[in-house]
Structure 1
Amino acid sequence: MRNYLFSAGLALLVAAASVSITATASPAFASEIKYVVNNVPITTGDIAHRAAFLKLQRKKGSAADEMIDQTLRVAEARRLGIRISDAQVNAAYQRFATTNKMQLKQLDGVMAQSGVSKEHFKEFIRAQMAWNQALSARYRSGEGGSVSEQDAVRRMLDKGGAKPSAMEYMLQQVIFVVPAAERSATLAKRKREADAMRARFNGCNTTREFAKGLIDVTVRDLGRVLAPQLPPDWAEQIKATKVGGATATRETDRGVEFIGICSSREVSDDKAAQMVFQSEGSNDKNSDELSKKYVEELRKKARIVER
């Protein structure tokens, strides 16, 4: 999961994998509606799965409250236009298994035997990934202590450090559009087409020429993006890709995508200092405080009905 989750969330996942599970059948959970949060139902089954997850983590807390908070977070992320695809969740689930030296079947077994279920765990992953992006957006907007470019430079120099540098990328996004209604029928074909175009990619100047003969292909120039501003889902691939190359293709809600790296350079200016400062700040305890404050605000505005 790496950058997808804040440290607290990652610790929970690691704890979940470290617990020894005995081979017992998971209990059958009822599915009666217990709460309605802004018209979204939370069932007794959802709460029971979360209670099992808390037990697996050896963590105290209210399963009902956790499910209410998760529902509010997911809704807020959706309001902000944040969408985490099934492909992203499945990839994160696979990475988690690999990191903990487990086969997928083993991880599935841990989730099933503990009463959590892989479906519940995956939805937890999806919610954490979305919330991470929502928090990052809020932090950048100033709610998390955004500072001006000049203040960032001053603070770093006050600490005895030099003005920081950051990689600046010129990027191009290529989207093979797949309408939702046609996804099951055409996604595999579009993936092959995207892979073929990506293999021919040799710089951003020829992309639109390649795309001319293809149906429903969008090419977007993303402009210059500093490393701390890179989208979390793409950041690692972009950093690992050479100039003139393209990232691997990825299935998203829009279809199949890849990102071309037109150019990159190291810059050291006030804007870079501001982004580096805020990026470092978003990884400390301030993120937990911001998350707590954010959720409290959402709760105050929410309509939560107990059945």
Structure 2
Amino acid sequence: MRIGLLGTGPWARKAHAPALAAHTAADFAGVWGRRPEAAAELAGRYGVPVYEDVDALLADVDAVALALPPSAQPGLAVRAAEAGCHLLLDKPLAVDVAEARTVVGAVERAGVASVVFLTTRFQKEPEAWIDEQAAESGWFTARAQWLGAVFTSDSPYAASPWRREKGALWDVGPHALSVLLPVLGDVREVLSAVHGPSDTVHLVLDHATGASSTLTLSLTAPPAAAGADVELRGEAGVSHLPRSSEGAVPALVRAVDALRGAARTGRPHPCDAAFGLRVTEILSAAQARLTAAAS
């Protein structure tokens, strides 16, 4: 599979480009970016072609990995799907439900495969734990804390305009939902959504299995308090999301494998564009509650 990279920001440099270059069954085929000089620098680092015309890249590859902000991703994802490219998407798929639906519609019409890269779902230990807990029944409640220190440290993502605007709900909210939904089922209702300190939000969700969950999401936690924790309680007892022994690059390599498998078999991956749409719908409902509470 020949894969092109769309995007040149910190996430593209830290995760996508190294993963594509390291993959033994995929060909890192080129880079396009909204900033041509950044695209040329990143492409040169890995000895791959740089493309000034995104359509030229789409014509030369089988798939694209998108490392773009959610305002830019939907339009380019639709364009890539219409060109027949399989899609390795970033989270959130979009911050607007209608835009997310356009991506799903384009994927379905083109018959291409899609995978939304949600890091925890592609890391070995967390992935195995999620599968094990999903096989259990009788979960009563869950508590998820996804606390980042993006804006309280020297994180390279602190300069991200969309994170500044949208905050933790949209940046780390997809990660928390990617763990909870496979285990507790779909969200029937966002029961509560309130603001905490700075960009911190607290959500209470009602799930299809009858379980409830509480989420605390932040990008402004003190660095010493940052981290992700998920606790499940139910008939099987108490279970905690394990720490991963690996970072984003090996997880992205597995996400490429997942995309290749979906493209080969025609079977949708659990983290496909439709799942990304559902996450956007839930977060949009939470955003509406937050907005109403603030007015």
Query: What TM-score do the two structures reach when normalised by structure 1?
Result: 0.24
Whose strand fraction is larger, Structure 1's or Structure 2's?
A: 2
Q: Which has the higher contact order (CA 8 A, sep 6+)?
A: 1
Query: What TM-score do the two structures reach when normalised by structure 2?
Result: 0.25
* Rg comparison, structure with higher value: 1
